[in-house]
Each structure stands twice: as C-alpha cells, then as structure tokens.
Amino acid sequence: MTQTPAPAGRAVLVTGGNRGIGLAIARSFAMAGDRVVVTTRSGEAPEGLQAVPCEVTDTASVDAAFAAAEDLLGGPVEILVANAGITKDQLLMRMSDAEFDDVVDTNLAGAFRCARRASKGMIRLRRGRMIFVSSVVGLYGSPGQANYAASKAALVGLARSISRELGGRGITANVVAPGFIDTDMTAALPEERRTAYLSSIPAGRFAAPEEVAAAVRFLASPEAAYITGAVLPVDGGLGMGH
Ligand code: NDP
C-alpha cells in the first residue's frame, strides 16, 4: 500500500505579511523550509511567497483566509503569527472614538479573530504555536499612543488566557514585544522623535525586521515547547523591567 508522504516543513500563517516585520518573519520561516502563507489586504503575494486576502477586522474575511490558506498548505495552520497592526496616534484629549476603536479592532480583536480560527485546527492536531506581535509600548506606555499601547498590552492577557486554556493540548501562545524596528511604521515618525527614541535605547540603534523574525522563529521552534504565556522583548533594552 502506498502512503501519501507528509508535506515537508510546518504550516505557517503570518498576517500582514506583505511588508515590514511580517514579511521578514514569513521569509525567515520559508528559508528554514516551512510552508508559509501570508495574508495581505490586496491578496497580492510578495515575491516567492503564497498569499491569501484577509482583512483582520472582518470575521468572515479571517475565516475565508484560513480556509484558503489551509488549501494552499494542505492542512491546518500549525504556527500562527498575528502580526497585522496599525497606529493612529493622537493625544488623549483629542483622540476620537474612531481612532481608539480602529486600532483596538485591528491590533487586538484582529489577533483574537485569527487565534480563535487557528485554535480549531490546532486542537485537532493537538499541537500549535501562536505568536502575537505586540510592542515595547504595550507595557512601557507612550504619550500619544493610548489606543495603540492599550491594544498591545491586551495581547499579553489574550496570549496568557490561551496558554491556560489550551496548554494541555500542546498549544503555546507567546508574545513578542519589539522596540523600534526600521519599517514603514517608524519611517513615519518625525525626525526629532526618532532621535529622542534613539538616545533612550541601550543598544543605541533601531533593529532590522529580521531580528524580530529570529525571536518569532525561536518561539515556534521545538526547543521552545515549554515556553508559553511569555513576553519576549526584542527592543535593544528599551523596556527593561517589564
Ligand atoms: P507596517 O505598517 O510596515 O505593516 C503593517 C502590516 O499590517 C501590513 O501588512 C498591513 O497591510 C497589515 N494590516 C494593517 N491593518 C490591517 C488590517 N485591518 N487587516 C489586515 N492587515 C492589516 O508595520 P510593521 O511591519 O512595522 O509592524 C508589524 C507589527 O509589528 C505591527 O503589529 C506593529 O504594531 C508591530 N510593531 C512594530 C514596531 C516597529 O518599530 N515597526 C515596533 C513594535 C511593534 P497593508 O500593507 O495592506 O496596509
């Protein structure tokens, strides 16, 4: 009797994988031999990667993206990297309900929608890794980012609750908390803020997206099977004491 060989590598889904940190994470898993699908809002795939369209603020879109990704991957998602995120900075007094809600809906509820859908396949497999891309400001705070910092801090509660709920089923849920990474998001910062941030980072530099990818891959590795509910900073020492 002939048996269909198991597909090589693990099945990975990275949200917001068309640019920045998400793209670096996706490329790093692909380079290591894993099967990777990224979500993009346009549905267009970055060079060398497979993509499915996904708007993380829309439950139906998230569910459809997982179904399409599972088709491409040939099975359930084993590693979810919830990376998609936005900022809408504003001082507290001036922050509109929409600015607050949009950021929380994308960064927190978007990650929740993906984790909920991913859990179905992971529970069936009795293994899985969820990695949530938070931020140093989630626990450090940041003026003008009440919405963003709140959404990123809440990912810790989300990951820790998932750890307690699904830990017995071989599923881990961890948070990576990047500091300042050279991407479109930080390129949008005014020059004086970039300089001020730089002077407060012990490492004395911003990081490359690949440095976040390395931490994510570690949390997804077999060596990290006993790490769950953790917050792993990749911030050059900026948030020490979290
Ligand atoms: P970018 O702005 O470069 O990329 C953000 C990604 O998220 C894009 O792929 C974007 O898609 C996607 N996205 C945004 N909103 C949605 C949505 N509603 N539905 C689906 N996808 C969406 O950001 P970075 O690469 O810098 O950041 C990635 C993650 O890392 C974010 O969660 C961010 O908060 C976090 N982070 C970044 C830091 C940094 O210094 N850069 C520091 C700490 C954390 P599209 O291209 O269509 O807009």
Whether residue 18 has its Cβ less than 6 Å from ligand 1: yes
232 C-alpha vs ligand 1 centroid, how far in Å?
Answer: 18
Catalytic residues: 148
Whether residue 156 has its Cβ less than 6 Å from ligand 1: no
Q: Ramachandran region of residue 141, left (φ > 0), alpha (ψ -120 to 50) or beta?
A: left
Nearest CA to ligand 1 atom 43: 135
Q: With bands split at pLDDT 50, 70 and 90, how would you rate the model's confidence at 3? A: low
Nearest CA to ligand 1 atom 9: 16
Task: From the CA of 209, give the closest atom in ligand 1.
Answer: 25
Q: Ramachandran region of residue 57, left (φ > 0), alpha (ψ -120 to 50) or beta?
A: alpha
Distance, CA of 13 to CA of 56 (rounded, Å): 13
* Amino acid at residue number 71: D
Distance, CA of 158 to CA of 156 (rounded, Å): 5
Residue 220 has pLDDT above 70, yes or no: yes
- Read off the pLDDT of each residue in 99-127 and give the average, rounded to a whole number: 98
What pTM did the predictor assign? 0.96
> By three-state DSSP, how is residue 88 classified?
coil
> By three-state DSSP, how is residue 229 classified?
coil
Mean pLDDT of all residues in the chain? 95
Nearest CA to ligand 1 atom 28: 21
Distance, CA of 172 to CA of 45 (rounded, Å): 28
- Backbone phi, psi, residue 45, to 5°: -95, 140
Residue 189 vs residue 115, higher pLDDT? 115
Residue 184 vs residue 159, higher pLDDT? 159
Residue 42's CB is within 10 A of a number of other CB atoms, namely: 8
What does the pLDDT look like over 169-188, one tens digit per residue? 999 999 999 999 998 888 88
Whether residue 180 has its Cβ less than 6 Å from ligand 1: yes
Residue 191 vs residue 159, higher pLDDT? 159
Q: Are 88 and 102 in contact (CB under 8 A)?
A: yes
